[in-house]
A and B are shown apart, each in its own frame.
Chain A
Amino acid sequence: LAKTTQPVSMDSYEGQEVNITCSHNNIATNDYITWYQQFPSQGPRFIIQGYKTKVTNEVASLFIPADRKSSTLSLPRVSLSDTAVYYCLVGAGDTGRRALTFGSGTRLQVQP
């Protein structure tokens, strides 16, 4: 299984763009990169998934370089409600049918 490394914590202010980078040097050819968000006392929530280049949805963007050994989750103009733990996961793309392997995540604290 591809191991992921991400910063333990990050601080930001409202309105700023936040970029969280995840390293996954041993990513396999068939692996996808998936990000989940977890608020206190809630279950994780799917944010975005990608295989290569750039993926964008209404919540975030995911940037994946050509070698795929890292990825960056970009949150535009964060607000206080974006304070949460963000997890980077690497594995098969059909995340509905397989076990999700979570690391310790990145704790993002957004301040006013």
Chain B
Amino acid sequence: ETGVTQSPTHLIKTRGQQVTLRCSSQSGHNTVSWYQQALGQGPQFIFQYYREEENGRGNFPPRFSGLQFPNYSSELNVNALELDDSALYLCASSQPGQGNNEQFFGPGTRLTVL
């Protein structure tokens, strides 16, 4: 069973640029959630995708957008990057309805905005 993978591991961008982060969900999982984790803080929910549809969104502006593909992998896109977007971006996959409902997190992508 392959776990959740994310790419790239690290990324450096400048203010105003756009970035795309990628996530491959764990085998058999149809739900992907994205979180932003600033240094020293807990992860904050960005949004969740279930079967290619957005299934909930946290308090993030529209310049944070996402996609989920038929194979349940997902992308997080951030436009017009700001310095405060510097953070660890975490992807988590799950399969609601089965016996174990936990979310399985990937290692994250460390984004630095200069």
Contacts and interface: CB of A to CB of B under 8 A. Distances in A.
B74 interface: no
Nearest to A101: B45
B103 A46 contact: yes
A99 B108 CA distance: 17
Interface in A70-105: 85, 87, 93-105
A97 B101 contact: yes
A95 B101 contact: yes
Number of contact residues on B: which range applies? Answer: 20 to 34
Given A96-B94, A96-B96, A41 B101 contact: no
B43 A99 contact: no
* B43, B48, B58 — most chain A CB neighbours (10 Å): B43
B43 A97 contact: no
Contact of A46 (B96, B97, B102): B102
B41 interface: yes
B105 interface: yes
A101 B92 CA distance: 13
Contact of A45 (B35, B97, B98, B105): B105
Contacts of B91: 43
A101 B102 CA distance: 13
Contacts of A49: 102
A100 B35 CA distance: 9
* B58, B98, B101, B107 — most chain A CB neighbours (10 Å): B101
Contacts of B101: 93-97
Given A102-B42, A102-B43, A43 B4 contact: yes
A103 B108 contact: no
Interface of B: 4, 31, 33, 35, 40-45, 48, 50, 55-56, 58, 90-92, 94-98, 100-108, 110
Interface of A: 34, 41-46, 49, 85, 87, 93-105
